[in-house]
Amino acid sequence: MSDEQKKLEDLLKQLQLNNGNGPKINAEPVRGTNDFKFWKTQPVTSLEEEVTEEGPIDKPKKPEDISDKTLPMLAEFEWTTVDIEDNEQLEDVFVLLNENYVEDRDSEFRFNYTKEFFKWALKCPGWNKDWNVGVRVKNTGKLIAFISAIPVTLRVRSNIIKSVEINFLCVHKQLRAKRLAPVLIKEITRRVNKTDIWQALYTGGAILPSPIATCRYTHRPLNWNKLCDVGFTALPSNSTNAEMVAKYTLPKVTATPGLRVMEEKDIEETLRLFNRYQERFELVQNFTKEEFHHWFLGGLDSTSSKDSNVIYSYVIEDKDGKITDFFSFYSLPFSILNHSVHKDLGIGYLFYYASDADFNYAERYNEEATSKLKKRLDLIIRDACILANNSKMDVFNALTSQDNALFLDDLKFGSGDGFLNFYLFNYKAFPIHGGLLSNKSNDVEKRSNLGIVML
């Protein structure tokens, strides 16, 4: 037996003994693979390539041209199609991601996914059970890797693309040297291709070949004392905790007249408003009525308390009964790994929104149109922060995408250390502005041309 095989055998024994409770070791955030040798074999734009024409990279194929067989796998492991409708298998995904997915570099915080979140994120209309791909240890059945895809219809400028979103790529920390990530990507690609879909959208914090857009995370503190106590944020020099609490304190009551929770009856009108608003952006997801219902009303848990909700959606109705605005945010908490008091951090993420504030202007960047939209977004996103705070969230996150740069500074969102890169698989596209200037500050003047939000 070689030294490498012996090490792997010892590791597999350790995984069996740990039974899902492996040692906490430092690990860099991983949501993909940095192996450029792998990406050079894939239909993606290279980092140094200048795109001269938009469109698919590979020549068109047919599903029958794609192998029916799963890719070869290391002898110690085996492929599995994870049945997310089976509670035990969903629990396997839950444990894997909660223990091995993205952490901060100091290993202090980690996403704390809930089963309700997975059901919302993975069971959208048209979802395919074969697109929840896992790898298990043969001897124990332990799930040690996972990747998923969901169907989406993308619009890249004027081109409509039948596509998938790839998400939740996760390999057990102690097996990341085994090159499983590239094999997972190739296997999910094979399964998606068998359904006659050839393009994909995915995101990651790492620079891979080649981002079409880059956004920055921003954070609006809601519970300053807790954020400072757990090390999520630091006390600025020459400031006191009392001053920071005062700076970020929000009222308990929202200010927008006509603001209410979105209901079933609002779906069609809100979708029309949303579609018109989305016309200004260069990369968006086109929603059917069924998809819109799922993403904005489908994350509600009717069997338990409101605190277990995943998605929070609201509309603003004027005195004539017309819906003029809509906004949404979702809940994805953090686990706090090494704190004696606090064990979790409530996180709200700004999702999609729309407003008719500038619809009467033909030019998006018209000074008066911009002023009206900015004033409106300042009001409704401030109310979103209030509602998130009232729902026991400790911080409210937003990217620099959409028209967010108009309100980020006014509403006291601070720029974070994290950046999110957007990628298209098997599709060349001209760069799309992600709302950042060359110095990585918010581009308040031009905002962003990216209108899609991925979980």
> 24 lies in a domain?
no
Residues 6 or more apart in contact with residue 419 via CB below 8 angstroms: 205, 214, 215, 216, 217, 440
Is residue 145 a contact partner of residue 170, using CB atoms and an 8 Å limit? yes
For the chain, how many structural domains are there in total? 2
- Mean pLDDT of the 432-451 span: 96
**Residues 323 and 424 reside in one and the same domain:** yes
pLDDT digits (tens, 9 = 90+) for 251-299: 999 999 999 999 999 999 999 999 999 999 999 999 999 999 999 998 5
Active site residues: 455
Residues 302 and 220 in one domain: yes
Average pLDDT of span 55-68: 94
- How far apart (Å, rounded) are the C-alpha atoms in residues 347 and 394? 6
Give the residue from 203, 229, 244 where a domain finishes.
203
Judge whether 143 and 92 are in contact, CB under 8 Å.
yes
183 and 245 part of one domain: no
Which of 151, 170, 203 terminates a domain? The answer is 203
CB 395 within 8 A of CB 219: yes
Domain co-membership, 104 together with 228: no
**CB neighbour list of residue 103: distance below 8 Å, 6 or more residues apart:** 27, 29, 109, 110, 337
Instruction: Let me know whether 357 and 288 are in one domain.
Output: yes
- CA distances 242 to 216, 238, 246, 413, 418, Å, are 28, 12, 6, 19, 27
Burial bucket for residue 112 (CB in 10 Å: 0-12, 13-18, 19+): buried
Domain co-membership, 158 together with 232: no
Q: In terms of domains, do 124 and 199 share one?
A: yes
Please give the average per-residue pLDDT across 333-341, as a whole number. 77
Question: Are residues 240 and 387 both part of a single domain?
Answer: yes
More confident residue, 201 or 337: 201
Model pLDDT for residues 3-28, shown as the tens digit of each residue: 544 544 444 444 433 333 222 222 23
Task: Say how far apart CA 12 and CA 9 lie, in whole Å.
Answer: 5
Residue 25 lies in a domain: no
The pLDDT value recorded for residue 234 is: 84
> Residue 2: inside a domain, yes or no?
no
pLDDT of residue 321: 96
pLDDT for the residue 308 = 63
pLDDT in tens, 86-100: 999 999 998 899 888
Query: 390 and 299 in one domain?
Result: yes
Can you tell me which residue has the tokens 């016309």? Answer: 279
pLDDT of residue 65: 95
Looking at the predicted structure, is the pLDDT value of residue 303 above 70? no
Tens digits of residue pLDDT in 160-202: 999 999 999 999 989 988 889 999 999 999 999 999 999 999 9
Pairwise CA distance, residues 359 & 370, whole Å: 11
Considering the domain architecture, whether residues 237 and 346 belong to the same structural domain is answered as yes
Asked if residue 270 and residue 163 are part of one domain, the reply reads no
Q: Tell me, what CATH number does 411's domain have?
A: 3.40.630.30
> Across 205-310, where does the E strand assignment appear?
213-221, 259-261, 283-286
Q: What type of residue sits at position 348?
A: G
Residues 6+ apart with CB under 8 A from 194: 63, 66, 68
Judge if 327 and 265 occupy the same domain.
yes
Decide if 19 is inside a domain: no
Residue 323: name the closest of 228, 420, 381, 256 by CA.
256
Q: Which two tokens stand for residue 227?
A: 């954020």
CA distance linking residue 45 with residue 404, whole number of Å: 28
State which residues form the domain around 151: 30-203
Q: What is the pTM of this model?
A: 0.89
